[in-house]
Chains A and B, each alone.
Chain A
């Protein structure tokens, strides 16, 4: 059955605290921490971008899967911060792990859900027998306009999933998507920073799509909340996924393992996938996971996942999300501005 053969995470080591950003803009840090449910966020190194994060995550995934890179028939990278507007991220990733040249490839973009769209594409290709393994990546080094609320959350990180039929650590039993045209968040061609609809990003965007996709999946699989041990939702801040869980009647304990945003920020296309990776790091055979992404614009992809015995065999080969969460170096706002190349030289 189609599922996850291996996965890998990557989060840059740099962090900036809410206090450090708030003091520059004359804001009260406690209000922001309470309002957004976030304490600090990850920041890429000067020489890191979506491509380097994708390669690191893909290498970790390959090591975890224990397969040959040449058996990967498709590489898809989802991001809203591809370093090139024209020239794929996925070809650099494919070349770095040496899955090239016998593979198909493209880059995806759908705000924060392009990574889960890549997983669905790989599932389809694997199920159709067109490829043996597919590599799906979600990674971002997102930017918020200085002074905007997004500046407290827009972070960097990513995760890579190898999808196949054999030796899977978890089966993907079903997937369900819910998509509409909703103008909650956008960035026009050539613009450096995105714009958003502030409160409009909540009810008609995030909550509607996450809840409809999750309910749709439960209906399609004839399951209920109680059938799942863990839930992972897209996490643009620390508050939204908790509120979505409450609306769906999910106990807090089932969502905490996969909730990373309070400590690393919103890694956009990496967010749901890193949350899922953190859950898989600790999940036991037989446990069930429901993961639902969200991308502004807007849409959600929901997945029903069951962990297999294979996870224990492969666990020693994983670099856990926890490792990347715990290694950190704090930046001042001035250093952060330099890291994010906001200083013109």
Chain B
């Protein structure tokens, strides 16, 4: 079995995984994803509020995974990237709808909704964000 996540953990992260819901400091404007409840710049003067990110960004760096984790065998070789979102935060995500020779650092990408993993044949299906090159 692949790494098993508890139901409550999957459920708690639905807003961030499904629609990139993060936070933002209203004092300095900095965005946080995954969401933070404290602004390390403004400290006590910081005011944290919910903020949904646009889902647009660019490839900051990437790697091609040839030796997949358990549960991801069908995907290999697949692209795993750090995406720098337009609002600033950098997040790790799979790049889909592109082959390893079609990806480059700096390439504009956007969020798509995909299956991330599933708890076997009978368990819960875990959905969330992945990224793909932006359509022309």
> Which A positions have Cβ atoms within 8 angstroms of B?
13, 45-49, 51-52, 55-56, 59, 83-84, 92, 95-98, 319, 323, 327, 338, 345
Q: Taking CB as reference atom, which chain A residue is nearest B74? A: A46
A83→B74 CA distance, assembly (Å): 19
Report which of A49, A51, A98, A319 forms a contact with B19, defined as CB distance below 8 A: A98
Determine whether the beta carbon of A55 is less than 8 Å from that of B97: no
Chain A residues with Cβ below 8 Å from B19 are: 95-98
A245→B125 CA distance, assembly (Å): 42
Chain B residues with Cβ below 8 Å from A46 are: 74-75
Chain B residues with Cβ below 8 Å from A55 are: 113, 127
Determine whether the beta carbon of A96 is less than 8 Å from that of B113: yes
A to B CB contacts below 8 Å, 27 in the list = A13-B97, A45-B96, A45-B97, A45-B114, A46-B75, A47-B114, A47-B115, A48-B115, A49-B115, A49-B125, A51-B125, A51-B127, A52-B115, A52-B127, A83-B125, A84-B125, A92-B18, A92-B127, A96-B19, A96-B113, A96-B127, A98-B19, A98-B52, A319-B135, A338-B74, A345-B73, A345-B74
Determine whether the beta carbon of B135 is less than 8 Å from that of A327: yes
Determine whether the beta carbon of A47 is less than 8 Å from that of B130: yes
A21→B116 CA distance, assembly (Å): 29
> Which B positions have Cβ atoms within 8 angstroms of A?
14-15, 18-19, 52, 73-75, 96-97, 112-116, 125, 127, 130, 135
A48→B75 CA distance, assembly (Å): 12
A13→B98 CA distance, assembly (Å): 10
A56→B114 CA distance, assembly (Å): 9
A114→B48 CA distance, assembly (Å): 43
A55→B115 CA distance, assembly (Å): 12
Centre residue among A59, A96, A319 by max chain B CB count within 10 A: A96
Chain B residues with Cβ below 8 Å from A83 are: 125
A49→B118 CA distance, assembly (Å): 13
A59→B114 CA distance, assembly (Å): 13
- Could you list 6 further interchain pairs (A-B, Cβ under 8 angstroms) beyond the known A46-B74, A46-B75, A47-B130? A47-B96, A52-B115, A52-B127, A56-B112, A84-B125, A319-B135
